[in-house]
Amino acid sequence: MSNYDVIVLGGGLAGYCAALSAAEEGATVLLAEKCDEGGGSTVLSGGFMAFADTALQRELGVSDSPELLLEDLRSVGGPHAQEDLLRTYAAEQTTLFGWLTAKRLRFEGVELAAGQSAPRSHSIDPGQLILTLHELAQANGNVTIRTGTTGVYLLREGENGRIRGVTVEESGRLEDVEARCGVVIATGGFSRSERLLQTFAPQQARALRVGGVGNVGDGLRMAWRHGADLHDMGEVKGTYGVHATECNNGQEILLIFYRGAIIVNREGRRFTDESVSYKLIGDAAMRQDSPVTWQIFDKKIFDGSIGAARLFDAAAALNRGLLIKADSLQSLAEQCGIDPQGLLATVASYNEDARSGRDEAFGRDGLCHHVGALVPLDQPPFFAYPSAVAVLATYCGLRIDAKARVIDVYEEPIEGLYAAGEVTGGFHGKAYMTGTSLGKSAVFGRLAGREAARTGRA
Ligand X SMILES: Cc1cc2nc3c(=O)[nH]c(=O)nc-3n(C[C@H](O)[C@H](O)[C@H](O)COP(=O)(O)OP(=O)(O)OC[C@H]3O[C@@H](n4cnc5c(N)ncnc54)[C@H](O)[C@@H]3O)c2cc1C
Q: Which residues bind ligand X (CB under 6 A)?
A: 9-15, 32-35, 38-42, 44-48, 150-151, 186-188, 210-212, 214-215, 218, 250, 392-393, 421-422, 435-439, 441
Closest-CB residue for ligand X?
12
Dist CA 253 CA 357 (whole Å): 28
- The dihedral through the CA atoms of 310, 443, 185, 231 has a sign that is negative
Q: If 0-12 CB within 10 Å is exposed, 13-18 middle and 19+ buried, where does residue 348 land?
A: middle
Q: If 0-12 CB within 10 Å is exposed, 13-18 middle and 19+ buried, where does residue 457 land?
A: middle
Shortest spacing between CB 282 and ligand X, in angstroms: 13
Dist CA 296 CA 306 (whole Å): 16
Shortest spacing between CB 65 and ligand X, in angstroms: 20
In the bound state with ligand X, the residue whose beta carbon lies nearer, of 123 and 305, is 123
Dist CA 39 CA 226 (whole Å): 27
In the bound state with ligand X, the residue whose beta carbon lies nearer, of 112 and 393, is 393
In the bound state with ligand X, the residue whose beta carbon lies nearer, of 45 and 387, is 45
Shortest spacing between CB 179 and ligand X, in angstroms: 14
Dist CA 261 CA 367 (whole Å): 9
In the bound state with ligand X, the residue whose beta carbon lies nearer, of 121 and 288, is 121
In the bound state with ligand X, the residue whose beta carbon lies nearer, of 123 and 275, is 123
Shortest spacing between CB 440 and ligand X, in angstroms: 8
Shortest spacing between CB 335 and ligand X, in angstroms: 27
What is residue 297's three-state secondary structure?
Answer: strand
Dist CA 7 CA 29 (whole Å): 6
Q: Which residues contact 409 (CB under 8 A, 6 or more apart)?
A: 227, 228, 229
Shortest spacing between CB 217 and ligand X, in angstroms: 8
Whole-Å CA distances, 42 to 104, 124, 214, 250, 441: 18, 11, 12, 12, 9
CA dihedral 298, 301, 307, 309 (to 10 degrees): -110
Shortest spacing between CB 367 and ligand X, in angstroms: 18
In the bound state with ligand X, the residue whose beta carbon lies nearer, of 188 and 416, is 188
CB environment 208-243: b (16+ within 10 A), e (fewer):
bbbbbebbbbbbbbbbeebebbbbbbebbbbbbbbb
> What are the beta bridge partners of residue 398?
230, 424
Shortest spacing between CB 2 and ligand X, in angstroms: 16
In the bound state with ligand X, the residue whose beta carbon lies nearer, of 14 and 207, is 14
Shortest spacing between CB 189 and ligand X, in angstroms: 6
| Helical packing angle, 13-24 and 126-139, nearest 10° | 30
Q: Which residues contact 245 (CB under 8 A, 6 or more apart)?
A: 386
